[in-house]
Structure formats: structure tokens, C-alpha cells
Amino acid sequence: MQNLLHNLNPEQLAAVTLPPQSALILAGAGSGKTRVLTTRIAWLIQTGQVSPAGIMAVTFTNKAAKEMLTRLSAMLPVSTRGMWIGTFHGLCNRFLRTHYRDAALPQTFQILDSQDQLSMIKRLLKANNVDDEKYPAKNLMYFINNAKDQGLRANRVEAHDPIERKMVELYELYDNQCQREGVVDFAELLLRAYELLQRNQPLREHYQARFKHILVDEFQDTNDLQYNLLKLLAGQGQQVAGALFAVGDDDQSIYAFRGANVGNMSAFEREFRVENLIKLEQNYRSHGHILDSANHLIANNSKRLGKNLRTDAGHGEPVRIYEASSDLEEAQWIIEEAKSLMAEGSLRREIAILYRSNAQSRVIEHALFAAGLPYIVYGGQRYFQRAEVKHAIAYLQLMDNPHNDSAFLRVVNFPTRGIGMRSIEALQAAAEQQGISLYAAVPYVAGKSGSSLNSFVKLVEGARFETQQLALPEMVRVVLEASGLLLHYQNEKEGADRIENLEQMVNAATQFVQEEGFGQGAPAYLGPRTHASAGELLVEGDGVEIIDADTPLNIVMSPLSAFLSHASLEAGDAQAQAGQDALQLMTVHSAKGLEFDAVFITGLEEGLFPHESSSREMDGVDEERRLMYVAITRARKRLYMSFTQTRMLHGQTRYNMKSRFFNELPEEALKWLSPRVQSHWFGNKKSAWDDAKFSGGSDNKIAQQIAQKAASNGPGWRIGESVAHAKFGEGVIVNIEGGGSNARAQINFGKAGMKVLDLSVAKLERV
Ligand code: ATP
Ligand code: MG
């Protein structure tokens, strides 16, 4: 035990060893919150206060859950298997698999990822003749998810106008359709679990009694439904109450756009009458200049719960800031810097490159690829989201649940087998009329369409029959063949990569079966469960026995179902293979909770970071600032920030000002690597050229470029002139910079807003 506790400071020690009551650990980045949470679990078990099965811990990503389990296995001599450690979604999935009957789900229910959810909503709109201009599918998806995140079914959503009334109606139809297909979306996983616990008292009490300790990391980013779920499980105010131990940092609340409610922290404090509020203020992660930068920046936010961070590490290196001429040049600079870090002995996996939007990664990836540097993209085009992999997954889904319409539609004619739009429309009409799935509706379609659809059904059933006794990896292999996918890509010109990805799935299945503790040769399918369902509690003496989270996985979930859930749920996580040494690319959002020796924060430009959408939302810039705070505090020793003068994004060249966040950093912690260009775009006091000229030529390339741009003055356009643009309408030029092919103008298009356009490209007319 000495070992467990001796690396903690006094506040951390106090937090780890708190009595079994509700507690809130409120602390800044890198202060050891996650470490405290993990150590507390180990301490509780080691001191005999709870068995592993009495622990539930919620992490923000699957990767974090895995890491926590690995740490615990190293700290404890006992097996960690009985613990419930995972994300809200992962845990709810497990819960619903166990109690699928009570949750009114088929045993093989499947999880829709957001892509499938969107396409399902599009189909729903079409089937109901809803004008998708008036009710865009994305809006409806947001509306539905938002309602679910608040715990509201369609019949409880208040509609304020006809549009909303229609949305509510569609929400109801959507839920019915999901039920018919045996699929659930992400928000549904949580809502179902919540509703089941709420209405089923014996079940609720069972879990309340079981989970003596519920520990939640990143508590600031829980949404209302998650908080309510925790309240139910912790049995707030009841005898059986489990202790809820929450750790979080209000300054790192960055998921408001997904319904996260930082107010849950104060609600928790109030509703659970939290007496144990501990603040941790010692930062163990970052060197001084980095930490100062983070503290300075976040001080610009109002509405903070208030806490500080200090470090005993010295100032360390200054934060390096670089202004690039373009996104291409920014990428080159990153590569040069990363190379020199590596030459000094840095590991590749200890270098992270962060960006605000996924779209920014392409240029960086391209440059890394060209430079021959291995890299991993987190949350980008993930393995399970690639087209060919999604196709294979769809076939596997049909093996387990042929009523999943999304899966059916994805592959009914892929590889092509002569099933055209007409046949599909006839099938959809039949399914709609009968109120059944597409698969089930096939016999209702007559003629040639009917027979070609029927041969697809035969293919699916044949493959299912053939794979009945096989273990998961073999099954995957057979399905890849039987579906015709492998053959299809063999005949495709650039199919080699895709085939490799498909074959990779056999390995993924092998690894999965091993890691999840399914027997090596265990059949992929699960027969109908013969054990008691949760509704049929077996009462023994005064105790209640139940199929619950302790029940071995292979009883509640088949290897196939488990693997398919993994493919849907894991999609949000890194595709990194453990131990692989590669540069780490990710959005700032997905960097939460992680740390690296060196971090690059790229694209620090107005409109990009802070993101332009933030100006439209209340508290928007504050949220972006918290995001920036998260980004800065990922770095241990080295921090780089960059911005560019021009950037291609979504097919348009953009000319952005440097981010306002630079003005919020402490000057003494910074080192500017390039000619310091003070807002060279609008209303500059000193020209960029002056700066570049006097910078001692540290970066003459940029100086020259700027000089070239300034040399001639536009192709005859004048400030104040009225112009017309095909897309944006009429506007007035408010500023011009550069000349020749580099000339660009800032134009106020009134309704369409302010735009910066390339004068050599934009088709403008004089008005
Ligand atoms: P974040 O807010 O980013 O999630 P956190 O508060 O969860 O950060 P941890 O990740 O737990 O912080 O800890 C940050 C780093 O500091 C880790 O590398 C951790 O091992 C280290 N650390 C935490 N406490 C101590 C300690 N008492 N002594 C030495 N190192 C520590
Ligand atoms: Mg943490």
C-alpha cells in the first residue's frame, strides 16, 4: 500500500483516501485528476473496502478506459475483469446486452454510427415525402439527438411552432423505424439504459447495491442524461447509495455543442450535498512557460470556478511561435521542427500535431507522407469508417441482424448485382406498407426485381449457414469472400489498399477475441440465451442473483455482436496501434486528457481558432478559449504555435488574421520565430514589409513574398467600389491588398457577410 500512495502530494493523498461519500475533485489540467481517480480505485480494492465488481468508472474515451485498466492491472494483484470501466456508451451497451429483453431490444441489436444515423434519417424523410429543404436531415438529426440527450422522448418534447411539431412527429417515426430494424443510435444507448433503470426497481436496486463506488473522469463534459444516469445508479439519497467520486475541470469543458453541461458540477455539489471538495493546484505535466501561457489565456474567461496551477518545474523552453506564408509552408516548418526534436532524441509518439478542424489535417498529412515520417491520425478517416470496411461490416451486420436497413441498403447492390433503383424503390414501398424491414419485405416484391432481391437474400442466408460454427476471425474471412467484396476489389485498379484493409479485419477480429477474453475457437454467433433474463430474478435467500455485469461476456454477447459494437463505438477513438512509434495528429477535442513531450498547435487564425462558428453562439469564444487551454496544457516540455497568411480550406483560399489568443499570452513566455507581422491585414500601423525588412532577414522568403504582394496594387479595383458576385450578390470593396495574381479584396456583401476573395480568380463585376 505504501507503494500506491507514496507518489502523491498531500491534496492528492487526501482525495484518494476520502471516506466513501460523494466527492468532487476540481482541478486544472495536469494536476493528477486521472491519476488520483485510478489510484483511488486501487486503494479501495487493496484496503478491502470494495471488490472489483463494486467499481464502476467512466472515462471519456475507450482508449482512456483501456489505459486505466492497464494501470490498475499493474497496481493490483487481483483481476480487473469484474470492474465496469468504460465510456458511458460502452457501459450502457454492455448493460443493454445483458438486459436486452427488459429493454425491449432484440438480442442482436446493432449500433448506428452517426453516418448511418444520418442516412437513415434521409430515407425516413424521403419515405414520408418530407421536403428536405425545409427539414434538412442534419437538423432533424441534431433535434433528435438533442432531445435524447435531455432524456426526452417525442411525446415529451414541447413544440413551439409548426416546424417543431413536424420535427417531433418525425422523431417519433424515426424511433419506430429504429425499433423495427433493431438498431439504436448513440444517444439511444444512454436513454434506453436510463429508462430501464428508472422503471425497473429490482434492477435499479441491484445495481445500486452493486456499485459501491462510481468514479467519473472529465465530469465537466457530462450531459444532462449522463448526469441523471449517474444519479440513478448512485441511488442518490437512498440507503443503498454508492459513492459518486467526480473529477473535472470547468476550464476544460469543451463539448457544450454536444449538450455537455458544465453546470452539472455545481448541481452535483448541491444535490449530493458534497462536503468533500478538493482542489489540486500543483501541475506535474508542463514546464513553467507553458503553464504560464495556459494560466494567462484562461484568465480571460469569466464565469470560472476559480483555481490556479503552479509548477515546481523551471520555466523551461519558451513557447515558439511561427508565422508561415501558407498552410503548405506551415506543414514544412512542422516537419523541420519535428525532425530536429527527433534528432535530439524525442520519440515520434511524444510529438503531437493539433488542429481545430479535421479539414486541416490533409495538408499536414501530405507533407509528412512526402517526408517519409510515420504518423497516426486520431479520429480522422478511421479504420472502421473507410468505405470498404463499412461495406464488410454491413455484411457482418446482416449475418447477425438482417433487419438493419442501413446495412441492407449499403450492400444490396454492392458489389453490383443488377439490383437497380427501381427494385429498391419497390422494396421500400412494400416494407413501408407492411411495416417491416427491407429484408423481410423481399417476398412482397414481384417480378424480376423480386427474383434479384431474392438471390441477395439467398446469398446472405447462405453465408450465415456456412459460418454458423466458425470462430469470429474465420467467419470474417468467409464473409469477405462470399460477399464478393474481395473479388470486387481485386478487379479494381487501385483496389490493393482496400484489400489490405479488408484483410486487416481478420486480424482485428483475432485480436479482439483475444483481448475480450472470448475463447479462441468460440463460435461467432450466440444461440438464443437460455439463462434467466433480468426480469426473472432468481431469489436466493435474501440475496438477489441476476445476470448482470459480472456475467461472462460470452453469455450476454456473441463475439460477433461484441465486435460489431466495438466497430461502432470505437469509431470515435484513435486508430493507433499500441506501441506504434509515429507522430500523433488529432483535433484539439480528441487530445483531451492526453499528454506529449512536444505539441504543435497549428492554424491559430481568426475564423479557424477561434472558429468562426463561435461568434454566433453565446459563450462561443469562451468555449474556444477553453479549447485553446486544453491544447496548451497537453505539452510537457515543448510547445509550438503557428498561423499562416494564406490557407486553402474547403476549396477556397483564405486570408486570416492571426488568432486573438496570441494577445492573451504572456510576452515573456514566448519566442517569435518569424518576422513579427502585426496584423498585416486590416488597419495596420506598421506595414508587414517594414517588419520583415528589419527582422534581420531571419526569414527572407516571407519578407520577399510580402514585398512582392505589396509591389503592385490590384487589377484596377478600388476601395469603396461597388461590385457584384454571382453567389454573394452585391457588395462594396472595403480593402485591397497585394497585386497581380496575388491581389485580394475584402468585400462587404451585406447579407452574405464579409468575404475575402482572390481578385484574379473571383468573377466580379462592376456595378
Ligand atoms: P487533464 O486535466 O489534462 O486530464 P489530469 O489532471 O488528469 O490532467 P493526470 O493526467 O492525472 O492529470 O496527470 C498529469 C501528469 O502528472 C501525469 O503524467 C501524471 O503521471 C503526473 N503526476 C500526477 N501526480 C503526480 C505526482 N504526485 N507526482 C509525480 N507526477 C504526477
Ligand atoms: Mg485527466
Give every CB contact of residue 429 below 8 A, 6+ residues apart in sequence.
none
Q: What is the pLDDT of residue 679?
A: 39
How many other CB atoms are there within 10 angstroms of residue 443's CB atom? 12
Distance of CA 595 from the midpoint of ligand 1 (Å): 9
CB distance 713 to 757 below 8 Å: no
CB of residue 591 inside a 6 A radius of ligand 1: no
* Stretch among 250-254, 412-416, 710-714 having the lowest mean pLDDT: 710-714
Q: Which tens digit of pLDDT belongs to each residue from 739-758? A: 666 677 778 787 777 777 77
Asked if 167 contacts 159 with a C-beta cutoff of 8 angstroms, the reply is yes
DSSP state of 528: P
In terms of pTM, does the model score above 0.90?
no
- Is residue 377 predicted with pLDDT exceeding 50? yes
C-alpha span between 628 and 634 (Å, rounded):
10
Asked whether the predicted pLDDT for residue 533 surpasses 60, the reply is no
Read off the pLDDT band of 709 (50, 70, 90). very low
For residue 759, pLDDT beyond 90: no
Distance CA 208, CA 123 (A): 41
Q: Average pLDDT of 605-612? A: 93
pLDDT at 605 over 80: yes
Other C-beta atoms lying within 10 Å of the C-beta of residue 19: 9
pLDDT at 691: 36
∠ CA 639-643-644 to the nearest 5 degrees? 150
Concatenated DSSP letters of 204-226:
HHHHHHH-SEEEESSGGG-BHHH
Top pLDDT among 720 and 364 is at 364
Task: Specify the higher pLDDT residue, 208 or 257.
Answer: 208
Grid coordinates given for 614: 463561435
Share in percent of the chain as helix, strand, coil (round to 5):
50, 15, 35
Average pLDDT of the chain to the nearest whole number: 85
Q: For residue 182, what is its C-alpha cell?
A: 433493431
Question: Three-state DSSP class for 648?
Answer: strand
- More confident call, 651 vs 19: 19
Q: What is the pLDDT of residues 67-117, one digit of tens each?
A: 999 999 999 888 887 889 999 999 999 999 989 999 999 988 999 988 889
Measured by CA distance, the residue closest to atom 8 of ligand 1 is 30
641: left (phi over 0), alpha (psi -120 to 50) or beta: beta
- Read off the pLDDT of each residue in 280-307 and give the average, rounded to a whole number: 93
* Least confident range of 3-17, 486-500, 562-576: 562-576
- Which ligand 1 atom is at minimum distance from the Cα of 31? 6
By mean pLDDT, which of 51-60, 210-219, 300-309 is the weakest? 300-309
**Which pLDDT does position 552 carry in this prediction?**
57
Bridge-based pairing of strands 722-725 and 764-766 is: antiparallel
Q: C-alpha grid cell for residue 73?
A: 492491472
Q: What is the pLDDT of residue 689?
A: 32
Distance CA 247, CA 215 (A): 8
Output 520 or 451, whichever has higher pLDDT. 451
Please report which confidence band the pLDDT of residue 738 belongs to, taking 50, 70 and 90 as the band edges: low
Q: Indicate the DSSP class of residue 445.
A: -
Question: Would you say 530 is a known binding-site residue?
Answer: no
Q: How is residue 566 written as a grid cell? A: 466495438
Residue 496, C-alpha cell as written in the block: 490493393
Taking the C-alpha atoms of residue 110 and residue 406, their distance in angstroms, rounded to an integer, is: 11
Give pLDDT, residue 102. Answer: 92
Of 28 and 537, the structure prediction assigns the larger pLDDT to 28
Q: 568 pLDDT band (50/70/90 cuts)?
A: confident
**How does residue 682 score in pLDDT terms, banded at 50, 70 and 90?**
very low
pLDDT of residue 744: 74
Predicted local confidence at residue 580, as pLDDT: 66
Cell numbers that stand for 623 in this block: 468555449
Q: Regarding predicted confidence, which is higher, 7 or 715?
A: 7
- The CB of 35 under 6 Å from ligand 1? The reply is yes
> What is the rounded distance in angstroms from the CA atom of residue 118 to the CA atom of residue 142?
10
Q: Give the pLDDT of residue 523.
A: 82
User: Which pLDDT value is given to residue 732?
Assistant: 79
Determine the pLDDT at residue 615.
78
Cα 35 to averaged position of ligand 2 atoms, centre (Å): 7
The CB of 30 under 6 Å from ligand 1? The reply is yes
**Nearest protein Cα to ligand 1, atom 26:** 8
C-beta atoms surrounding 463 within 10 Å: 20
- Mention every residue, 6+ apart, whose C-beta is less than 8 A from residue 509: 472, 473, 475, 476, 563
Report the 10 Å Cβ neighbour count for 553: 18
Q: Where does 281-386 have alpha helices with state H? A: 288-298, 327-343, 361-371
Q: 34: Cβ below 6 Å to ligand 1?
A: yes
Q: How far is the CA of 30 from the centre of ligand 2 (A)?
A: 7
* Cell representation of residue 251: 476550464
> For 253, how many CA atoms within 13 A lie in the half-sphere containing its CB?
29
Ion ligand 2: residue ranges with CB closer than 5 A: 33-34, 593
Closest CA to 746 of 714, 719, 709: 719
Query: Given this model, what pLDDT does residue 648 score?
Result: 82
Report the Cα 456 to chain-centroid distance in Å: 35
Is 30 one of the annotated binding-site residues?
yes
Among all ligands shown, which has an atom nearest to the Cα of 254? 1
Of 541 and 247, the structure prediction assigns the larger pLDDT to 247
Q: How many CB atoms lie within 10 A of CB 500?
A: 11
- Ligand approaching nearest to the C-alpha of 279: 1
**Does position 30 have pLDDT exceeding 80, yes or no?**
yes
Answer whether 471's CB lies under 8 Å from 506's CB: no
Residue 78 is given by DSSP the state: S
Please indicate whether residue 350, judged by its CB atom, sits closer than 6 Å to ligand 1: no
Of the bound ligands, which one is closest to the alpha carbon of residue 25? 1
What pLDDT is attached to residue 530? 46
For the annotated catalytic residues, the residue numbers are 33-34, 217-218, 252, 634
Helices marked H in 620-729 — which ranges? 620-632, 688-694, 700-711
Atom of ligand 1 nearest to the CA of 284: 16
- The arithmetic mean of pLDDT across residues 491-495, rounded, is 81
What whole-number percentage of the chain has pLDDT above 70? 87
pLDDT at 34 over 60: yes
What's CA 149's distance to the chain center, in Å? Answer: 16
- Residue type for 431, please? A
Percent of residues, the chain, with pLDDT higher than 90:
57
Neighbours of 8 (CB within 10 A): 18
pLDDT at 706 over 50: no
At 733 the pLDDT is 80
Tell whether the model's pLDDT for residue 503 goes beyond 80: yes
Task: Give the model's pLDDT for residue 649.
Answer: 77
* Position 268 pLDDT exceeds 80: yes
Task: Establish whether residue 285 lines the binding site of ligand 1, counting it when its CB lies within 6 angstroms of any ligand atom.
Answer: yes
The Cα 358–Cα 701 span in angstroms is 28
CA 33 / ligand 2 centre spacing (Å):
5
Interatomic CA distance for residues 729 and 723, integer angstroms? 8
Which pLDDT belongs to residue 725? 86
The Å distance, Cα 624 to ligand 2 centre, comes to: 19
Instruction: Name 541's Cβ contacts closer than 8 Å, sequence gap at least 6.
Output: none
Residue 281 near ligand 1, beta carbon < 6 Å: no
Let me know how many helices (H) and strands (E) the chain has, helices first.
28, 23
Q: Is 31 in the pocket of ligand 1 (CB under 6 A)?
A: yes
Atom of ligand 1 nearest to the CA of 634: 3
pLDDT at 174: 97
Long-range contacts, stretch 534-543, CB < 8 angstroms, 24+ apart? 534/98, 534/99, 534/101, 534/102, 534/200, 534/203, 535/101, 535/102, 535/200, 537/202, 537/206
Classify burial at 273, counting beta carbons within 10 Å of its beta carbon; exposed 0-12, middle 13-18, buried 19 or more: exposed
CB contact burial 162-171 (16+ within 10 A = b; e otherwise): eeeebbbebb
According to the annotation, is 753 in a ligand binding site?
no
- Ligand of minimum distance to the alpha carbon of 597: 1
pLDDT tier at 384 (50, 70, 90 boundaries)? Answer: confident
What pLDDT shows up at residue 248? 95
Residue 659 marked in a binding site: no
Paired strand residues for 649: 652
Does residue 76 contact residue 42 with C-beta atoms inside 8 Å?
yes
8 lines ligand 1 (CB under 6 A): yes
The terminus-to-terminus CA distance of the chain in angstroms comes to: 80
The residue nearest atom 2 of ligand 1, judged by CA position, is 29
pLDDT for 290: 97
Query: In this model, does residue 557 exceed pLDDT 60?
Result: yes
Distance CA 108, CA 470 (A): 18
Q: How far is the CA of 36 from the centre of ligand 2 (A)?
A: 9
Contact 80, 57 (CB under 8 A): no
